[in-house]
Chain A
Amino acid sequence: MLSKQLIEDVLNAALSTSGDFAEIFVEDRTNSQITLIGGIVENTISGRDYGVGIRIYKGFNSVYAFTNKSDRETLIKTAKKAAQAMIGCHNDLTLNLIKSDVINNHKILKYPDKVSKLKKVEAMRKVYDAAKNYDDVISQVSVTHLDHNQHIMVANSEGLWKEDTRVRNRIVVSSVASKNGEMQTGYLAPGAMRGFEFIENYDLEALGKEASRIAKTMVNASYCPSGKFPVLIDNGFGGVIFHEACGHSLEATSVAKGTSVFAGKVGEKIASDVVTAIDDGTLPNEWGSINIDDEGTPSQKNVLIENGILKGYMIDRLNGRRMGHASTGSGRRQSYKFAPTSRMTNTYIASGNSKREDMFANTERGIYARYMGGGSVNPSTGEFNFSVLEGYLVENGKITTPVRGATLIGKGTEILKKIDMISDNLSYGQGMCGSSSGSVPTNVGQPLIRVSEITVGGREE
């Protein structure tokens, strides 16, 4: 993307004051987004993101500068300007960049630029038709297709020089059911690190029907009761509970500065015995996967919690310096506009031994969350919240009435100890995770789990 000479010169300019490490990141990315609403394509946008980010460290301090221009003059000027923020004298550096190949674990068949826009619309229509025709109660359906092809290059003053390509496809369906002046929505958004073959091979009709089934169920649901209940959270996107309640607090971003509730607790028991949790960016073709992170470190499988014991964190380079620990391949960023920091990839609770039937049979009165919505967490207090998209009452071991408007709240440290049963049906759900280095694709995942007690906020007493 840039010549070896230019990269070396920029890195040298970046270290022209007292910096002890410099990195250059180049991104060239094409994006496409098409939206079909009410059966009509009204809006489509596509284009090219392009820019260069330059980062310098001095000890634990860092400077980041970015620009869209990649000519020699601008890049050297930007590097020098950034270097000026680091006061001191020049470290002599002899750079010898050797480009190393990145092993691609994610086979891509149909690249975005090889697929006609009409083909994408055709696929979206299949989802739309299935969703709209599901039931008369469905008043509106929107379908969005997104794809991108992100090409990155990263090089640093330690001699690292790598390039990689990331292709992702996603389809988002939102169905609205209306009844007596009320509206409820059903939402699904599968995605993968794959080409258009992901969309072609997907059961698009089932996807549309499922979104509408959720909306219809919820428009006919009564309000969720409030109070403390055992809660059964189903597999797939249900894993958002671990992502929010614990995952963010295991990122070095909050651990390195000691602000996380889990800081300094490696080796300690932080969860019940049945909990094993993993962040694995190497899973082939998964939405949150990466070959290398945005600092050039190969992605790896990181065991976070094993049988309830805290094993490790997700760590990027800079926070690794603070913690005296190597990067775990977790340095990610939305784009060249952000300095990378430690982030999740595909984070999940591993399968356990409980049987689904037993988990329900053992619940006298509780809530079953079939699909979860999103949520958020305050990493310094561990307080989290998330919404239930499709929920039911569990009475005497059986799933009974559908309930809407349920929110689950609690503290990460407490809920981990209250997970008392885990089933064996691990699956994943896809999301966009926002944090200080922007919004990145991540998978959440889990089998069906049961939390013995959690505060449920609803509108009925």
Chain B
Amino acid sequence: MEKKILIDKIFQYGKQLGLQDMEISYNSDTSFDIGIFKQEIDNYSLSDNNKLSLKVIYNGKLGNSYTEKIDETSIEMLVNEAIENAKIISSSDEVEIFAGSKNYTSVNTYNENSEKVSDIDKINFAKKAEEIAYSLDKRIVQVQDCMYIDGTEESILANTKGLNLQNKSNYVLSYIGVVANDGKQIKSSYSFACGRDFSKLDPEEMATEAVKKALSMLGAKSIKSGNYPIIIKNETMGDLLSSLTSIFSAENVQKNLSLLKDKLNKKIASSMLTIVDDPFMECGLASRSYDSEGAACTYKKLIDKGILKSYLYNLKTAKKDNVETTGNSLGSSRIGPSNFYIENGNNSLENIMNSVKEGLLITGLDGLHAGLNAISGDFSLSASGYLIENGTIKHPVEQITVAGNFFEMIKSIEDIANDLKFGLPGESYIGSPSIKFKGLAVAGE
């Protein structure tokens, strides 16, 4: 109730200054975060985090402000700062405070059992993961970043048009990084487990995966430069996709910053490719029933069998294109996906590998924030993986780069596996199956 009183006071103060349309989003989250190093608690963090954001319409312009010092002393600064910010907006785009959608699909984003787990059980979980990692192979010389994190978030979205939405969500996440050393080479790898239900996390499965991945990279060498058929492994393909979601943003399309402009209902990729944004996905860690503007989220295929079907919209960009918002606002005019993935194909990864005479299975791409340009689609990235010869893995590969262009690459898909896997969760939760591409330029020896 305390929160509601403060929200009302802010609206009251705004009204005194002549404002009519105002909206507040109030987020409170608590988190628990531990790290284990050689069976000791190396890091232990607790947080209680609150943020109140205000949106006002002043002379037809949108003004934003926020504060983390949440008490009555902040009211004046919050409202005045939002007005000052509105004054310098020169965009003539129509803006609105949203009265709400007709229907909201309810989504379950909270698992109350996870909140009952004791700290000791969480600590033991991470300790066990570390112990298992060391026990599996003596070439595992170090377990670094063995951590367990969980959090609960409560949010309120309320405005002067009568909208009042509330949501509660939680997550649990564990991560392990291991270093393998065979005396000749050092290789590192990681794995993670996440969800909303603590009881579904398995420390053994997680530790085993990280160890297996690191060991399998020992003995890696570079290969001859050239053009190779390439399979990008599910997780790695997901990482690549994560760096390119901005191309679907209607904001970028409208501002000439996406090459998907003017491509709606045109074939832009192989007909094997379907990309979905599903905010209602069960177990989706970015599931939500409404977006940060209070608009109902929607399920949609962005690319359906190779044809571009939709962009991601918020209220403002939807109005411009004369369509309904897709419920993809991430706050302060940012647009992004929810649970976002490439649909599974029919073949197993094994079968697809069998079809490769000489090629690469890529399991790591580094430097995505620098070596990839989402505007041009060009990338040139440090990569690692395995050399495939006649359908089987010949040896691990390091110190190579893979270069190409995303927009060209999705036209040259040769096969999609049935091993869809999601990456680390954030504002969006992104996944992909393994995909085989006709050929990409590799630089090595």
- Pick from A67, A384, A385: contact of B47, CB under 8 Å: A67
Q: 1/0 per position for A169-193, CB-CB distance to B under 8 A?
A: 0000000101001111100000000
Question: Min CB distance, A69 to chain B, in Å?
Answer: 7
Let me know if B321 is at the binding interface, CB within 8 A. Answer: no
Verify B88–A459 contact, CB threshold 8 A. no
Q: Say whether, besides A47-B65, A68-B69, A374-B370, A61 and B333 are in contact (CB < 8 Å).
A: no
Verify B256–A457 contact, CB threshold 8 A. no
Verify B257–A376 contact, CB threshold 8 A. no
Which of B42, B85, B90 has most A Cβ within 10 Å?
B85
Which residues B247-276 have CB closer than 8 A to chain A? 255-257, 259
Q: Say whether, besides A117-B84, A184-B376, A457-B401, A82 and B89 are in contact (CB < 8 Å).
A: no
What DSSP secondary structure best describes chain B's contact surface? strand
- Interface-located stretch among B158-166, B198-206, B352-360, B378-386: B378-386
Verify A117–B87 contact, CB threshold 8 A. yes
Verify A386–B367 contact, CB threshold 8 A. yes
Which residues B180-221 have CB closer than 8 A to chain A? 186-188
Let me know if A405 is at the binding interface, CB within 8 A. Answer: yes
What DSSP secondary structure best describes chain A's contact surface? strand
Q: Say whether, besides A64-B45, A376-B370, A459-B380, A41 and B402 are in contact (CB < 8 Å).
A: no
Q: 1/0 per position for A412-430, CB-CB distance to B under 8 A?
A: 0000000000000000000
Verify B50–A386 contact, CB threshold 8 A. no
Q: Which residues does chain B contribute within 8 Å of A81, judged by CB atoms?
A: 46
Task: State the CA gap A85–B32 with chains docked (Å).
Answer: 12
Let me know if A66 is at the binding interface, CB within 8 A. Answer: yes
Q: 1/0 per position for B397-413, CB-CB distance to A under 8 A?
A: 01111111000000000
Which residues A195-234 have CB closer than 8 A to chain B? 223-224, 226-228
Question: Min CB distance, A372 to chain B, in Å?
Answer: 9
Q: Which residues does chain B contribute within 8 Å of A64, judged by CB atoms?
A: 43-46
- Pick from B65, B87, B226: contact of A461, CB under 8 Å: B226
Verify A374–B369 contact, CB threshold 8 A. yes
Q: Which residues does chain B contribute within 8 Å of A51, judged by CB atoms?
A: 49, 68
Question: Min CB distance, B417 to chain A, in Å?
Answer: 26
- Interface-located stretch among A3-11, A32-40, A88-96, A265-273: A32-40
Let me know if B70 is at the binding interface, CB within 8 A. Answer: yes
Task: State the CA gap A43–B255 with chains docked (Å).
Answer: 14
Total interface residues on B, CB under 8 Å, equals 76
Task: State the CA gap A227–B399 with chains docked (Å).
Answer: 11
Task: State the CA gap A228–B40 with chains docked (Å).
Answer: 44
Q: Which residues does chain B contribute within 8 Å of A337, judged by CB atoms?
A: 47, 49
Verify B225–A227 contact, CB threshold 8 A. yes
Q: 1/0 per position for B414-427, CB-CB distance to A under 8 A?
A: 00000000000000
Let me know if A352 is at the binding interface, CB within 8 A. Answer: no
Task: State the CA gap A380–B375 with chains docked (Å).
Answer: 32
- Pick from B91, B186, B222: contact of A381, CB under 8 Å: B186
Which residues B81-113 have CB closer than 8 A to chain A? 81, 84-85, 87-91, 93
Let me know if B389 is at the binding interface, CB within 8 A. Answer: no
Let me know if A307 is at the binding interface, CB within 8 A. Answer: no
Verify B65–A455 contact, CB threshold 8 A. no
Verify B399–A42 contact, CB threshold 8 A. no
Verify A182–B380 contact, CB threshold 8 A. no
Let me know if A103 is at the binding interface, CB within 8 A. Answer: no
Verify B333–A42 contact, CB threshold 8 A. yes
Task: State the CA gap A47–B25 with chains docked (Å).
Answer: 14
Verify A45–B443 contact, CB threshold 8 A. no
Let me know if B281 is at the binding interface, CB within 8 A. Answer: no
Let me know if B392 is at the binding interface, CB within 8 A. Answer: no
Q: 10 smallest A-B Cβ distances: which pairs?
A: A457-B401, A226-B443, A385-B382, A374-B370, A47-B66, A385-B367, A50-B69, A407-B380, A457-B443, A65-B46
30 pairs of residues in contact across A and B, judged by CB atoms under 8 Å: A34-B88, A41-B90, A42-B91, A42-B93, A44-B85, A46-B81, A48-B67, A49-B68, A61-B40, A62-B44, A63-B45, A78-B46, A117-B87, A140-B257, A185-B375, A224-B380, A226-B442, A257-B142, A339-B45, A380-B142, A386-B370, A387-B367, A387-B371, A407-B367, A407-B371, A407-B381, A407-B401, A455-B222, A455-B401, A455-B443
